[in-house]
Amino acid sequence: MPPGMASAVQDILSTYKPEINTGDPTIDFTRFMNSQDPAKLEALVNTMESFSTSGPNLETFDFNRIPVKKESFWVLQMTHSAFQGADGKTSERYFEGSQPVFQIIIYDENASFRVCDNVPKPGLPSSDFFLNSIKRWRLETREEAQDVADGVDRRNKAGVAKGLRDADKAKALGNQAISQKNRKNAVKYYTDAINSLTDALAQMPTEEEERKGKAMLSICLANRAAAHLMDGEGQSPKEALNDGKLSVKFNESYAKAYYRQAKALELLGNIEESINVLADALSKPQLAEDSGLNDTLIELYGGVPDEERDLRQFCLKVFGKDESAKVQRPRRIQEENQYPDTKSHRV
């Protein structure tokens, strides 16, 4: 060890008191280092950075000579950062002829940063690149730790904002495709919007961004259900039912999510379950007076009885717990009402 490095290490370790500890030497020493004078730590880091060595020949090095710390490990993480074309152009999304660009990040069992290397060219790095990254480990400075934290925070904020913007654009294109009766494009654009929103919600959004993202996600899922329900070749009530159920998970107050489920169930021949979905929606206080759902339920059931006794029995069958009351087969759900499916193209 060079004299300058030995002096810097001794200057710091001279005040270390191992008898005052948490019971875990690693945590104890980490806390001790974090409490040191930044000037001393900077002097140590500068000394270490000025000390260069060619390192051992890994092909002939005797790894059995290396002391092993119990329960210690390093994590080598290869992180995708972008796509790059032959002309050097980069993008967050794949484009024809592009290759992925990676970073190598190494940290230990305490989540302490060791190395962050950018792979010099697109594509998978070689084993030599990994080995050279491992050989370069060093202590993380406070500035680097803060830069990493700040960088993650900035990237999260930018990622959330971009995801919401991209989703809004894709949703508008999906609505346009629905109005043009283009099922294929509508499903594609709504799927793009759903993927963008999923990415945004995974990047630590604010409470307001999370609320907005979940509300839009519920709408896009219900809209994709509407595309699956469009008449003609490719109609898929099963897919529409799945999307309707997912839509409710993100916003249980979104009435169209229940309507799309009911329509899908009717097309699948499950009339009783279709009625149950609508009844469940109307049992929620925030939807109890929704005229569209009420009208749809009445139409699905076949109309409201005129006599008071029959009306009471009707309500018991739809909203009550009378298992003996059997639901009669109703008329088809009318296509044109306050909550239309794809024939009126209102999404």
Cα(51)–Cα(163) distance, integer angstroms? 45
Mean pLDDT over 209-235 rounds to 94
Radius of gyration from C-alpha coordinates of the chain = 31
Cα(59)–Cα(69) distance, integer angstroms? 23
Mean pLDDT of the chain: 75
**Range picked from 81-85, 136-140, 183-187 for highest mean pLDDT:** 183-187
Please tell me the predicted confidence (pLDDT) of residue 216: 95
Please tell me the predicted confidence (pLDDT) of residue 79: 80
pLDDT in tens, 141-175: 566 566 656 666 676 778 888 999 999 999 999 99
Give the whole-number percent of the chain exceeding pLDDT 90: 27
Cα(266)–Cα(182) distance, integer angstroms? 23
Q: Reply yes or no on whether the pLDDT at 7 is more than 50.
A: yes
Q: Reply yes or no on whether the pLDDT at 183 is more than 50.
A: yes
Cα(328)–Cα(301) distance, integer angstroms? 8
Residue 45, both tokens:
């880091």
DSSP string, 139-162: PPPHHHHHHHHHHHHHHHHHHHHH
Q: Reply yes or no on whether the pLDDT at 133 is more than 90.
A: no
Cα(242)–Cα(228) distance, integer angstroms? 10
- Contact assessment for residue 134 and residue 114, using Cβ atoms and an 8 Å cutoff: no
The domain over range 149-319 is classified in CATH as 3.40.1410.10: no
Least confident range from 88-102, 121-135, 186-200, 243-257: namely 121-135
Q: Reply yes or no on whether the pLDDT at 340 is more than 80.
A: no
**Range picked from 12-26, 104-118, 186-200 for highest mean pLDDT:** 186-200
Please tell me the predicted confidence (pLDDT) of residue 224: 96
What SS3 state is found at 57?
coil
- Contact assessment for residue 192 and residue 159, using Cβ atoms and an 8 Å cutoff: no
Q: How many CA atoms lie within 13 A of 324 on its CB side?
A: 1
Cα(46)–Cα(79) distance, integer angstroms? 28
**Range picked from 112-121, 181-190, 335-344 for highest mean pLDDT:** 181-190
Mean pLDDT over 107-125 rounds to 74
**Range picked from 1-5, 223-227, 326-330 for highest mean pLDDT:** 223-227
pTM: 0.53
- How far from each other are the two terminal CA atoms of the chain, in whole angstroms? 71
Least confident range from 68-77, 230-239, 266-275: namely 68-77
CB atoms closer than 10 angstroms to residue 66: 8
